[in-house]
């Protein structure tokens, strides 16, 4: 065995117990003691190592998306979009790329039930020939806030009260009473879609707008949509209580069992395409993450299919240690000026460096499968074997060169430094359109959840009036129904 090429793996196994350093362990049942009853000797290195490793088995859980499940598979291009992007993994129909996907709840802790009302994460890591591409999204197409500076406050409002350690609805209603931009997202969260039946029966969205660039450098604004071939199914609040009470890991089990039985989950990928020159033609800002793009104007265009046909080999290694970041893109895919996306570009990688360490991209599940080279050296838990003498650039002793240039957006950016809101907030129109698209019974279920949130005893009269005003501006009849059920006179 070449020790420089060996990589620690359970597949490289011994027929007997050893320490982490490889020394044989002749008794893994009893501690080393003075006599048969003790005391235990500190020199029992195997005991100390075993306990010390056990004490450190848990890593910091994610602040959000802590509860999740992953699976592997492939993405196959089914439609030619080479005129839109020069991304290699989208180069032609029939091209397949290995992927790993992580589904998750957002707010609640790692051991929480998967049946709680909450958005769901839907993140796909493409292992392309040009490096990894992380498509980090949710099962809802919009978001609560449009500026990342509010994200920590938003999460704090949804998280348990720091005094009682209980999630409390009055805190959510209080915080978002200051942010009418959240109304559109609440028409998803408080709707039936707020409790998906499982991970297989839900949609996925890139949420943010991205940029595609073709070989000529032409730019297109893009939104990603995943549509499950088995349809969208949700749980009613009563069903969620029953399902969650029977098995708090029901969605993880459903995903694992379905793949194990050969019933492979599949999604179709669609995109919406906008010419960047047309951004000012709408009554909303297309880069505002609280808005959807009208499908009658920008129809869904098919791109490919995602098939999950393999369960992960180890939950910790490929679910807890997997790390996504929307900054990880490939040539032909770039960011937009979406304010929330711009902050996510920093936040995600920064969170993983804290949670997993500065070399988290060396972990097998996160490492690219394509050749890669740079001079990033050392640091905590660095296990990259290197024997080069030159770790600087440029050098006449190192033949590594720059990659071929690929297009990135070259539009001119100008403006005054300022902290301000966008010009076209238009917070009420799209939530109203969505509410009016519901069937009458679905409207009733939505109203019931809205009233439940506003009925929290610590929601003040002032906050109720504000929310009734918001919902009245979304839809007059909606505001009136909420006010009537809360026994409050609407101030319209």
Tokens of 240: 């969620």
For residue 129, how many other CB atoms are within 10 A of its CB? 14
CA distance 491 to 333: 47
Count Cβ atoms within 10 A of the Cβ of residue 317 and give its class: 0-12 exposed, 13-18 middle, 19 or more buried: middle
Closest CA to 122 of 296, 267, 335: 267
**Active-site residue flag, 201:** no
Measured CA angle at 456 (ends 451, 458), to 5 deg: 140
**Helix/strand/coil percentages in the chain, nearest 5:** 30, 15, 55
* Cβ–Cβ < 8 Å for 246, 240: no
DSSP 363-415: STTTS-SS---------TT-------S--SSS-TT----PPPP----------
Q: Which of 46, 108, 132, 138 is catalytic?
A: 138
For residue 387, how many other CB atoms are within 10 A of its CB? 5
Closest CA to 321 of 370, 357, 373: 357
Q: Which of 65, 108, 184, 225 is catalytic?
A: 65
Question: Strand 131-138 and strand 96-105: pairing?
Answer: unpaired
For 189, residues 6+ apart whose C-beta sits below 8 A from its C-beta are 117, 118, 119, 140
**Active-site residue flag, 65:** yes
Q: 360 among the known binding-site residues?
A: no
Closest CA to 469 of 452, 448, 454: 454
* Cβ–Cβ < 8 Å for 211, 223: no
Q: Give the residue carrying structure tokens 């959000």.
A: 64
Annotated binding site: 348
* Catalytically annotated residues: 65, 138
Annotated binding site for heme: 348
């Amino acid at each position: 065995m070449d020790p420089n090429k060996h990589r620690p793996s359970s597949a490289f196994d011994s027929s007997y117990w050893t320490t982490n350093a490889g020394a044989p362990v002749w008794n893994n049942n009893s501690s080393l003691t003075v006599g048969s009853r003790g005391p235990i000797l500190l020199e029992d290195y195997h005991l100390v190592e075993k306990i010390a490793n056990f004490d450190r088995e848990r890593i910091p859980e994610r602040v959000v998306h802590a509860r999740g499940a992953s699976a592997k598979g492939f993405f196959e291009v089914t439609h030619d979009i080479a005129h839109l992007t020069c991304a290699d993994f989208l180069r032609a129909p029939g091209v397949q790329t290995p992927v790993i996907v992580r589904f998750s709840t957002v707010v609640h802790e790692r051991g929480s039930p998967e049946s709680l009302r909450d958005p769901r994460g839907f993140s796909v890591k493409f292992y392309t020939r040009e490096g990894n591409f992380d498509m980090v999204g949710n099962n809802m197409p919009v978001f609560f806030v449009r500026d990342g500076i509010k994200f920590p406050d938003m999460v704090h409002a949804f998280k348990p009260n720091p005094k009682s350690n209980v999630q409390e609805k009055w805190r959510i209603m209080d915080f978002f009473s200051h942010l009418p931009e959240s109304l559109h997202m609440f028409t998803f969260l408080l709707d039936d879609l707020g409790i998906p039946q499982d991970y297989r029966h839900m949609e996925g969205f890139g949420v943010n707008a991205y940029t595609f660039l073709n070989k000529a450098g032409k730019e297109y604004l893009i939104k990603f949509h995943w549509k499950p071939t088995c349809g969208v199914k949700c749980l009613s609040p009563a069903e969620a209580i029953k399902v969650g009470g029977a098995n708090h890991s029901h969605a993880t089990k459903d995903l694992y069992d379905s793949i194990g039985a050969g019933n492979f989950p599949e999604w179709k990928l669609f995109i919406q395409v906008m010419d960047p020159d047309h951004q000012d033609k709408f009554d909303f800002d297309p880069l505002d993450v609280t808005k959807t793009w009208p499908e009658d104007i920008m129809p869904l265009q098919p791109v490919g299919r995602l098939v999950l046909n393999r369960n992960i080999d180890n939950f910790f290694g490929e679910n807890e240690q997997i790390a996504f970041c929307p900054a990880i893109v490939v040539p032909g895919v770039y960011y937009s000026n979406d304010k929330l996306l711009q902050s996510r570009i920093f936040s995600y990688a920064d969170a993983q460096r804290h949670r997993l360490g500065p070399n988290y991209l060396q972990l097998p599940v996160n490492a690219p499968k394509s050749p890669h080279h740079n001079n990033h050296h050392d640091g905590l838990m660095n296990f990259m074997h290197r024997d080069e003498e030159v770790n600087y650039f440029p050098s006449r002793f190192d033949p590594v060169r720059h990659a071929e240039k690929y297009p990135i957006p070259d539009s001119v950016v100008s403006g005054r430094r300022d902290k301000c809101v966008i010009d076209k907030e238009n917070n009420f129109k799209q939530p109203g359109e969505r509410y009016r698209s519901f069937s009458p019974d679905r409207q009733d279920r939505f109203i019931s959840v809205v009233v439940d949130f506003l009925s929290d005893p610590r929601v003040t009269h002032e906050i109720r009036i504000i929310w009734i005003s918001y919902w009245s501006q979304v839809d007059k009849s909606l505001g009136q129904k909420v006010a009537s059920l809360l026994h409050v006179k609407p101030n319209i």
